């Protein structure tokens, strides 16, 4: 999530209660420092504090941010079905495709935690297993298999057994290429 005043990632999420209304404020470190200094100088939230730097009147209003967050919470992965709301509550993603599906939302979070968005350390080697194709480096191959399994389950639920058989055969072929083992 971005700061309400600039394009930096929001690292401070402030909830204020004023006259029975809930206000959510999402700010980067610099704008949060200015906002909190205003709160201390003004004696409390909403009590005559100056709005220097437009701490609450930037390009995105507080209500608009809450609406965007509600819409984002409903966004669901088409492979595993996890919603962004579930991820925020559990702190875990459902499948490898989630990194692609929620990329825009996860990138600032990953950058904030790790300080970068590109892996710079060592990686395990992925040699071919017994003469087969090398195991996939990215998540595309694994995501495809997850999608095929989801499609197979849906076909079974719809009692379309021919389509389910095609998915099953595709999954077996993919696994056979990766592991070079004969299908049963």
Tell me the C-alpha distance between 177 and 183, whole Å.
Answer: 10
Give the domain extent around 7: 1-74
Residue 28 inside a domain? The answer is: yes
Q: How many domains are there within the chain?
A: 1
**Nearest in space to 73 (alpha carbons), one of 92, 60, 89:** 89
Residue 16 inside a domain? The answer is: yes
Q: Determine the 3-state secondary structure of 77 from DSSP.
A: coil
Q: Determine the 3-state secondary structure of 66 from DSSP.
A: helix
Residue 66 inside a domain? The answer is: yes
Residue 3 inside a domain? The answer is: yes
Tell me the C-alpha distance between 68 and 76, whole Å.
Answer: 15
Tell me the C-alpha distance between 112 and 168, whole Å.
Answer: 41
Residue 135 inside a domain? The answer is: no
Structure tokens at 110: 């990953």
Per-residue pLDDT of the chain (184 residues; tens, 9 = 90+): 888 888 888 888 888 777 767 788 888 888 888 877 776 555 444 443 333 333 333 333 444 467 777 788 888 888 788 898 888 888 888 888 888 888 888 888 888 888 888 878 777 666 555 555 556 666 677 778 888 888 899 999 999 999 999 999 999 988 887 776 555 5
Residue 4 inside a domain? The answer is: yes
């Amino acid at each position: 999530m971005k700061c309400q005043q600039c394009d930096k990632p929001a690292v401070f999420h402030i909830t204020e209660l004023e006259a029975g209304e809930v206000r959510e404020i999402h700010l980067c470190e610099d704008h949060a420092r200015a906002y909190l200094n205003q709160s201390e100088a003004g004696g409390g939230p909403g009590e005559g504090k100056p709005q220097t730097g437009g701490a609450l009147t930037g390009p995105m209003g507080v209500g608009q941010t809450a609406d965007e967050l509600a819409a984002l919470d409903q966004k669901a992965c088409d492979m595993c079905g996890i919603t962004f709301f579930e991820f925020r509550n559990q702190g875990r993603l459902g499948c490898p495709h989630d990194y692609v599906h929620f990329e825009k939302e996860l990138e600032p979070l990953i950058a904030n935690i790790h300080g970068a968005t590109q892996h710079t350390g060592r990686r395990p080697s992925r040699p071919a297993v017994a003469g087969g194709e090398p195991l996939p480096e990215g998540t595309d191959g694994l995501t495809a298999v997850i999608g095929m399994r989801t499609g197979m389950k849906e076909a079974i639920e719809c009692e379309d057994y021919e389509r389910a058989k095609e998915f099953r055969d595709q999954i077996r072929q993919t696994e056979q290429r990766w592991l070079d083992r004969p299908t049963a």
